[in-house]
Amino acid sequence: MSPPQLLTDPFLQLPTESSVRVVWFTEFAGSGHIVAYGKNLAHTAIAKTTKLSRVREDQNSRVATQSRDGQIYQHPVMRDIWRHEAEVKDLTPNIRVSYHVTSVREDGESVSSKVFTLAPAPQPGTPLKILLTSDHQIKPMVAANLQKVVETVGYVDAVWFAGDLANIPDRASEWFDDNRGGAFFPCLQGRAKFEMSKNGTTTFYTGGEIIQHAPMFTCIGNHEIMGRFGCESLNTEFDKTIPRSIAQNLYGKDSLKNNSFNTDTYEELFTLPQSPEGGKTYYSVTLGDVGLIVLYATNMWRTHLLDADARGRYNESAKDLNKPENWGYGQHIYEAIAKGSTQYNWLVQELNSPEFQQAKYKVVMLHHPPHSLGDNVVPAYTEPVQIIERDTLGNIKAVRYEYPKEADYLIRDVMPLLEAAGVQLVFYGHSHLWNRFVSSTQVHFIETSNVGNSYGAAWGDRKRKVPIGYREDYVELGDPYGLEPVIPTIHPFLGEDGHPTPYIASNDFTVFSIFDTGTATVSSYLFDTSKPDSEVIKFDEFELKQS
């Protein structure tokens, strides 16, 4: 039998004033999983072990051997992975100590990680460097992006991840060991080996050793959500989410989650702050001088295509018109956030809490963009209005969906709350580009999700694909809600017309942003992967007005 291995390095979660959680994964249940820490690693903390309940591989998985037990996957197959978590206590604020983890396999053989460092939650007044990132989704430039983070700014103090961590959340290899070398944890731990060939040059990128030292705070994006359980592939399961109310009508209350959608794997992977109302799905936390509120604001992504066979954001497939169990129900919203909803009422409380109001910096993180040049900001963030067209005999001719712009929950309901509470920064992802905006009340909005690929920006000659002849007037160019995008302040890039562009949407450029609380600045950096020997460029920077 080969020596035991850790499936991941340890990583940090949920820091408090005197403690932090250490988490890691193995492919054996084992025993004696511990964290050794402090001077000479003399102190120990015993880990609790749980098994992930839904992670699987299927015919689209890219695992090391592309098979297990000698068989190539033909359908989803459970994969045995265990999670270990220990709470390291009695820590001193602002004092960083060494640690490593050890796991013992059932046969008594053990394996230990390298030595890393940990610390409890930072105290007010402590300057922090926080990485802003999102939309990794096992995309091709992520390893390069995170490697350049460490090479450019060194270790960061925290990671804020605005959703879409993996692509198919129940596919284990996307998190741990995809054979292309760019799985989620390896990229964030400097253990990746992603090969990139451009312009005749091949370069290997390792990602960055980041979350072994820095706690990560995440939010739910549409790629954290799985759909109906038991389909022929994990991709099909992911694509088959339907609203809970529809699932209950179709299938009753039994196995409601398995017939609608769930975030089980995401919640099993991470230990996050929790709210009584939303659990891990929306929460608030204070780090040093920063108050951070994390929202659950995402909907099902559907194609913009209007083809007869498309189950899209604007219509159902013609072949399924009499099969409502196969409908997609448009870009339905997963968690209510409209005025009067549980999440909305919780947000009102958090924005007005003493902890948040006393923070020097007030930040809100969510996945769905309130302002963007990307395609995903259209249609409006509101529940689809279903329109069924019938012929004279009552037969269904078409099923369409409208999204009234004036009913956008983020613009109509949430943004006025944030402005009234003095929020300085709203951070999000989803559209796979970099762009930012400033409101008339000096709220800064930044989308820095072009870490691996881009689908372009609705600017100049590139228009969004929107339906014609619908009741709603969908916006083809710019931000649908009228904010002008900000031209990068340090190194603007020129478009084909020779004028500076207010976005980064190249599939050669990968972008990351750093929030430095010591200088009150958010700085954005760019690396051109087509020129692997080139320098990282700081192309934009802005300052937050302190409360």
Structure-token pair, residue 316 = 């159902």
CA-angle at 392, arms to 390 and 395, nearest 5°: 40
Helix (H, G, I), strand (E, B) or coil at 372: coil
Q: 489 or 545, which is more confident?
A: 489
HEC readout, 130-162: EEEECCCCCCCCHHHHHHHHHHHHCCCCEEEEC
Q: What is the pTM of this model?
A: 0.97
CA 119 to the chain's CA centroid: 24
Helix (H, G, I), strand (E, B) or coil at 325: helix
The predicted structure's pLDDT at residue 266? 98
Helix (H, G, I), strand (E, B) or coil at 56: strand
What mean pLDDT comes out for the span 477-492?
Answer: 97
Residues of the chain with CATH 3.60.21.10: 122-225+263-543
Positive or negative, the CA dihedral 296, 297, 300, 303 is negative
Reported as a single tens digit per residue, the pLDDT across 78-127 is: 999 999 999 999 999 999 999 999 999 999 999 999 999 999 999 999 99
Contact assessment for residue 137 and residue 48, using Cβ atoms and an 8 Å cutoff: no
The predicted structure's pLDDT at residue 71? 55
Structure-token pair, residue 32 = 């004696």
Going by pLDDT thresholds of 50, 70 and 90, the confidence category of residue 497 is confident
Would the pLDDT of 537 be above 70? yes
What mean pLDDT comes out for the span 512-529?
Answer: 98
In whole angstroms, what is the distance from residue 434 CA to residue 532 CA? 21
- DSSP code of 4? P
In whole angstroms, what is the distance from residue 456 CA to residue 377 CA? 13
In whole angstroms, what is the distance from residue 299 CA to residue 163 CA? 12
CA Rg, the chain, in Å? 23
- Nearest partner of 37 among 17, 20, 16, judged by Cα: 20
Residues in the chain: 547
Would the pLDDT of 66 be above 60? no
Torsion angle (degrees, nearest 10) of CA 97, 177, 300, 427: 30
The predicted structure's pLDDT at residue 68? 47
Reported as a single tens digit per residue, the pLDDT across 37-48 is: 999 999 999 999
- Nearest partner of 303 among 288, 318, 314, judged by Cα: 314
The predicted structure's pLDDT at residue 111? 98
Helix (H, G, I), strand (E, B) or coil at 366: coil
Helix (H, G, I), strand (E, B) or coil at 262: strand
In CATH, 1-121 is 3.90.1300.10: no
Contact assessment for residue 293 and residue 350, using Cβ atoms and an 8 Å cutoff: yes
- Nearest partner of 86 among 40, 118, 53, judged by Cα: 118
N-to-C CA span, the chain: 59
The predicted structure's pLDDT at residue 65? 59
Contact assessment for residue 55 and residue 81, using Cβ atoms and an 8 Å cutoff: yes
In whole angstroms, what is the distance from residue 154 CA to residue 210 CA? 9
In whole angstroms, what is the distance from residue 505 CA to residue 433 CA? 5
Reported as a single tens digit per residue, the pLDDT across 209-252 is: 999 999 999 999 999 999 999 999 999 999 999 999 999 999 88
Going by pLDDT thresholds of 50, 70 and 90, the confidence category of residue 441 is very high
How many other C-beta atoms lie within 10 A of the C-beta of residue 535? 11
Reported as a single tens digit per residue, the pLDDT across 377-432 is: 999 999 999 999 999 999 999 999 999 999 999 999 999 999 999 999 999 999 99
Beta strands in 209-271 (DSSP E): 216-218
Q: How many CA atoms lie within 13 A of 85 on its CB side?
A: 15
Range with lowest mean pLDDT among 58-67, 169-178, 355-364, 461-470: 58-67
Q: Which CATH class is domain 122-225+263-543?
A: alpha beta
Going by pLDDT thresholds of 50, 70 and 90, the confidence category of residue 547 is low
Residues of 30-52 as b/e, b for ≥16 C-beta within 10 angstroms?
beebbbbbeeebeeebebeeeeb
Mean predicted lDDT score pLDDT of the chain: 95
HEC readout, 413-457: HHHHHHHHCCCCEEEECCCCCEEEEECCCCCEEEEECCCCCCCCC
Reported as a single tens digit per residue, the pLDDT across 165-176 is: 999 999 999 999
Sort residue 350 into left (φ over 0), alpha (ψ -120 to 50) or beta: alpha
Helix (H, G, I), strand (E, B) or coil at 49: strand
The pLDDT > 70 percentage for the chain reads 98
Would the pLDDT of 70 be above 60? no
DSSP string covering 265-297, please? HHHHH-----BTTTBTSSEEEEETTEEEEE---
Residues of the chain with CATH 2.60.40.10: 1-121
How many other C-beta atoms lie within 10 A of the C-beta of residue 277? 15
- Bridge partners (DSSP) listed for residue 524: 513, 540
Beta strands in 429-536 (DSSP E): 434-438, 444-448, 493-494, 500-501, 509-516, 521-528
Going by pLDDT thresholds of 50, 70 and 90, the confidence category of residue 480 is very high
- DSSP code of 121? P
Burial class for 62, CB neighbours closer than 10 Å (0-12, 13-18, 19+)? middle
Contact assessment for residue 220 and residue 163, using Cβ atoms and an 8 Å cutoff: yes
- The phi and psi torsions of 131 (rounded to 5 degrees) equal -80, 125
